[in-house]
Chains A and B, each alone.
Chain A
Amino acid sequence: MKSNNYNTIFLEDERVDGADKVTGKAKYTAEHNLPNLAYAVFVTSTIAKGTIKNLDTSKALAMPGVLDIIYYGNCPAVPGYISNAAERPKNVFEWRGYKILYDNKVRFFGQPIALVVADTFENANAAIRFVKADYEVEKFETNFDKARLDPANLKGPVNYKRGTEKKFKEANFFIDAEYNIPLEVHNAMELFATIAYWEAEDKVTLYDKTQGPKSTQSTVAKTFGLPDKNVRVIAENVGGGFGSGLRSWPHVPAACIAAKKLNRPIKLVLTRPQMFTLVGYRPQSWQKIGIGADAAGNFIGISHEAISNTSRYEDFREGIVDVSKFLYACENVDTKYQLLPLDLSTPIWMRGPGEATGCFALESAIDELSYKLKIDPIQLRIKNFTTINPENKLPFSDINLKDCYAYGMEKIGWKNRPSIPGTVKENGWFIGYGMSVGVFGAGKGSASVRIVLSNDGKLLLECAVSDMGPGTMTSMSIIAADALQMPIQKIKFKLGDSDLPPGPSQGGSGTTSTVGSAVDLACKTLQQKLKELAIQYAPAFATTSADALEVKNEMVISKTNASIKIDLVALLKLANQEKIDLTINSNGKNAEQLKYTSNSFSAHFVKLAVNAKDGSIKVLNVVTTGDAGKIISPKTARSQMLGGVVGGIGMALTEKVEIDQLTGQIINASFGAYHVPLHSQIPPTDVWFVNKPDIHMNEIGAKGIGEIALIGFAAAVANAVYNATGKRVRDLPITPEKLGYKTIKA
């Protein structure tokens, strides 16, 4: 099988773990089988808010195969559930969020109120219907649009100001408008799942769908009062996350509690409807942007205000208004951000997070302003381009947006864009062009990597990061292959296990920069070690210094005399070493790197058609460009950008969670009713990267792509819809109704 023959992989640029994924061999969380496994299924609340007066489990307990039903009446003590800090054991942190199965409070519709455990999935699933709850119902609020109007409901604000507040109003040309984005759900294809197994009273192993094996390990350890080393979290393959796996949700302790109570391994897999309520979402938001410019297009002032929802029991904030502070040169900027707690579960970062929300408003507003000014929207952006971050006054480590504009304009056919909207009609369709910019912070954190060179010439790298799809295993292998100048088929990168050297959670577009820098450092450390070994053990090198040597093509070679060389396998044998085994720590940005501010940038270009009769929207063409430093793995990077476009089309045109305000229930919690883009909605998409190393950012010159692939995209669609029809839609998703069409004719 090809997966056993990696000879062709480097040349063909395939994912190093790709063969396992196309053959079905790659194992995801719920697919691990343990002896004596029992199955757990949640019973969830059918009210949005209140107290459970009585929970009758007797009928369900009598069902075949049911082993236990865990709920507030019989939940074992969990150290992290103790609210009083004085009573909590040392090193135990209070669980963040609602304490599942622990109290009789209901905080949102669909909250787990009991966990049925049975010998088979069928038996557990059949029994949940026989658990009966009597509630004391309380008044709830899930209506964002209504509740945000009463200032008493709002938390915050967090304010920012430079220059004069609301300065935009003094400008000769300004836009002052409101934008709404509904609640959206990540909906990764793999259902969240946890398999928990207590090997001993104080030692637990979890197969868990998480973007951070180390963070999950730490959370579970601190909740159950265990040392970190007694908690092992395995997440070899993660079937998509988009942010939803960046924290441990309550189902994780639920599985641990059940496994401990029953003293056997427990498998808990969420259902698709539960993916809408139990693992976070992009919060609903309202934004107001005021932006003003002089006649030449110079921005005079930007005011950006936002409200996003959170739950009643946790505050979740994200960077919605942050983009307006630094993306364009502008002396007067003020922002205000408030939270609106609702009787819903807690949101979390969803791809592009707050920046995607903020960029939709800002990039729509700039487009709108460009028509007022009668300046091309790209020229307007160039007019206000800055190489210095106006918020922190530091230079951008690199910014090549103008190259992105040039490529995108050419490829999308920007010259065909009508300067007066609604004026191009072909075969009953209005044609329009739009563009927008995306930006996201480029970070570099600390990570450890173990590097092992064996005397069979094979290289092993290990880090406890996870890979939810971008191809981390592939890009890390490429970094090592480049650094050591050795064939990628001899390299294996192991990840997805908290027992490996600590690495970051996969999120915030930081993996390649953080772990990649650590891999690069590990390879350089190994090279140094190999040079020293050559000097010590190989007679030919006895008189040379390490500086005069290089390690490449699986050899140590003299830089000045290429005939002085030794094969790495021969060197290890000569030194009588089975392997070289090093673990290195790579830190965050150094003092030199901190003199700059680093971001990844993107510019998206859309050509679309709006049906004149029924208002249906067809995206015809997309050009998406990324300015993210050096592109380590061109093939997987391109795929990430393609994925951002698909996600962006969903955000712009189809995705919206609908809440029944009479019950507080999400009523479209399925793929049939919550519309994510399908094959036939995706246009031909051209992906282009600047692909220039950002030398001030990190050692490898690479920045993240995951977020910028999506950030801003929805605005490009909205701007193109305006260009096509003359109708400005500031509420997502953009539907025919919002364009003034009453019905869609088939």
Chain B
Amino acid sequence: MKPCNQHDGRRGFLKKSASIAALYMTPACLVKTYAMDAIVPLPIAKEKLAITINGKLMNLEIDARTTLLNLLREDLSYTGTKKGCEMGQCGACTIHINGKRTKSCIQLALSNQNNKITTIEGLSDGLSLHPMQAAFLKNDAFQCGYCTSGQIMSAVACVREGNAKSRKSIQTYMDTNICRCGAYQNIVDAIEEVAKTGAKI
């Protein structure tokens, strides 16, 4: 076992861990038996990560294989960001990375060195609701609430991107986020309402 004490940079890490990560990220059903025999279990290095989450700079030592979503949910208790598929298909895990909406389940936490992350918990100042949160509440834009964090993070981005100019455009740019309860019409109502105010959000 050779513990990795020194952070040797994102590129170096990626080279070293590419095979582990690729295997880890591959659905079990796609890994063939012969591949298993060929891979020798490796000690898992802890890697250093400097990341800003909701305005708070954190210097962490993390498992190299941890996805950004699992870092948030399992290690840091930011459970507002949801796990729905771990394949980047449902949007429940949507967060903002340096202001851009991104699915946190399909990237490694370590690829976010020095990045600024905003989660649903950091969307408002904690004293009042963000206008999009208030609009979701008012329009009953959810039922079970599980996709809601992701919908709201996408919705805020959708408005900021300038893609909320019509209902059709909102729908297209919100196709990134699945709602199985079927609150779609109310979600679009909420986004349209916020977009129409023209306020910077």
What are the interface flags for B157-201 relative to A under an 8 Å C-beta threshold, 1 for contact and 0 otherwise?
000000000001011101101111111111110000000000000
Q: Are A22's CB and B136's CB within 8 A?
A: yes
Q: Are A64's CB and B140's CB within 8 A?
A: no
Among A15, A24, A191, A271, contact of B121 (Cβ-Cβ < 8 Å)? A24
A725 at the interface (CB under 8 A from B): no
Give Cα A121 to B148, complex, Å: 24
Among B43, B66, B152, B174, contact of A679 (Cβ-Cβ < 8 Å)? B174
Among A130, A191, A471, A679, contact of B171 (Cβ-Cβ < 8 Å)? A679
Given A635-B140, A642-B186, A125:B84 Cβ within 8 A: no
B10 at the interface (CB under 8 A from A): no
B14 at the interface (CB under 8 A from A): no
Chain A residues near B179 (CB-CB < 8 A): 189, 646
Which chain B residue lies CB-closest to A686? Answer: B185
Among A24, A638, A644, A671, contact of B149 (Cβ-Cβ < 8 Å)? A24
Give Cα A239 to B142, complex, Å: 11
Which chain B residue lies CB-closest to A65? Answer: B44
Interface residues of A in 160-191 (CB under 8 A from B): 186-191
Chain A residues near B36 (CB-CB < 8 A): 59, 129-130, 132
Q: Are B182's CB and A642's CB within 8 A?
A: yes
Which chain A residue lies CB-closest to B119? Answer: A24
Give Cα A656 to B176, complex, Å: 21
Q: Are A680's CB and B84's CB within 8 A?
A: no
B146 at the interface (CB under 8 A from A): yes
Q: Are A1's CB and B129's CB within 8 A?
A: yes
A737 at the interface (CB under 8 A from B): no
Chain A residues near B136 (CB-CB < 8 A): 22
Given A22-B133, A26-B145, A1:B29 Cβ within 8 A: no
Interface residues of A in 108-131 (CB under 8 A from B): 120-123, 125-126, 128-130
Give Cα A17 to B187, complex, Å: 17
Q: Are A679's CB and B81's CB within 8 A?
A: no
Interface residues of A in 441-471 (CB under 8 A from B): 468-471
B157 CB to closest chain A CB (Å) equals 14
Interface residues of B in 40-58 (CB under 8 A from A): 41, 43-44
Interface size on B, as a range, is: 35 or more
Total contacts A-B at CB 8 Å: 215
Q: Are A189's CB and B82's CB within 8 A?
A: yes
Q: Are B178's CB and A122's CB within 8 A?
A: no
Given A64-B43, A120-B63, A14:B137 Cβ within 8 A: yes
Chain B residues near A30 (CB-CB < 8 A): 73, 83
Given A59-B41, A272-B85, A642-B182, A25:B77 Cβ within 8 A: no
Which chain A residue lies CB-closest to B183? Answer: A639
Among A18, A271, A676, contact of B178 (Cβ-Cβ < 8 Å)? A676
Give Cα A63 to B182, complex, Å: 42
Q: Are A671's CB and B80's CB within 8 A?
A: no
A31 at the interface (CB under 8 A from B): yes
Chain B residues near A44 (CB-CB < 8 A): 28
Chain A residues near B178 (CB-CB < 8 A): 189, 671, 676, 678
A670 at the interface (CB under 8 A from B): yes
Chain A residues near B73 (CB-CB < 8 A): 30-31
Interface residues of A in 410-452 (CB under 8 A from B): none
Q: Are A672's CB and B149's CB within 8 A?
A: no
B18 at the interface (CB under 8 A from A): no
A595 at the interface (CB under 8 A from B): no
Give Cα A17 to B82, complex, Å: 18
A361 at the interface (CB under 8 A from B): no
Q: Are B79's CB and A27's CB within 8 A?
A: yes
Among B28, B175, B177, B183, contact of A129 (Cβ-Cβ < 8 Å)? B28
Q: Are B184's CB and A188's CB within 8 A?
A: no
Q: Are A14's CB and B138's CB within 8 A?
A: yes
A643 at the interface (CB under 8 A from B): yes
A640 at the interface (CB under 8 A from B): yes
Give Cα A130 to B172, complex, Å: 42
A390 CB to closest chain B CB (Å) equals 33
Given A59-B41, A671-B85, A671-B89, A21:B186 Cβ within 8 A: no
Which chain B residue lies CB-closest to A474? Answer: B140
Interface residues of B in 86-128 (CB under 8 A from A): 86-87, 89-90, 92, 119-121, 123-124, 126-128
Which chain B residue lies CB-closest to A26? Answer: B145
Give Cα A240 to B148, complex, Å: 12
Give Cα A43 to B70, complex, Å: 20
B91 CB to closest chain A CB (Å) equals 9
Q: Are A22's CB and B186's CB within 8 A?
A: no
Which chain B residue lies CB-closest to A28? Answer: B146
Chain A residues near B89 (CB-CB < 8 A): 272, 670-672
Give Cα A469 to B171, complex, Å: 22
Chain A residues near B81 (CB-CB < 8 A): 24
Which chain B residue lies CB-closest to A64? Answer: B44
Among A27, A468, A647, A670, contact of B182 (Cβ-Cβ < 8 Å)? A647
Q: Are B138's CB and A12's CB within 8 A?
A: yes
B4 at the interface (CB under 8 A from A): no
Q: Are B180's CB and A23's CB within 8 A?
A: no
A62 at the interface (CB under 8 A from B): yes
A19 at the interface (CB under 8 A from B): yes
Which chain A residue lies CB-closest to B42? Answer: A64
B74 at the interface (CB under 8 A from A): yes
Interface residues of A in 463-506 (CB under 8 A from B): 468-471
Which chain B residue lies CB-closest to A39? Answer: B74
Chain A residues near B182 (CB-CB < 8 A): 642-647, 677, 682
Chain B residues near A123 (CB-CB < 8 A): 44, 63
A46 at the interface (CB under 8 A from B): yes
- 12 further A-B contacts with Cβ under 8 Å, apart from A14-B140, A240-B146, are A23-B120, A23-B123, A46-B29, A64-B43, A120-B74, A122-B70, A191-B83, A642-B185, A671-B85, A671-B87, A671-B89, A685-B185
Q: List 19 A-B contacts (CB under 8 A).
A: A18-B140, A23-B124, A23-B129, A24-B81, A24-B121, A28-B146, A31-B73, A63-B41, A121-B70, A122-B44, A129-B31, A190-B82, A239-B146, A639-B143, A643-B183, A678-B184, A679-B187, A679-B188, A680-B172
Q: Which 4 A-B pairs have the closest CB atoms?
A: A24-B80, A646-B182, A239-B146, A21-B145
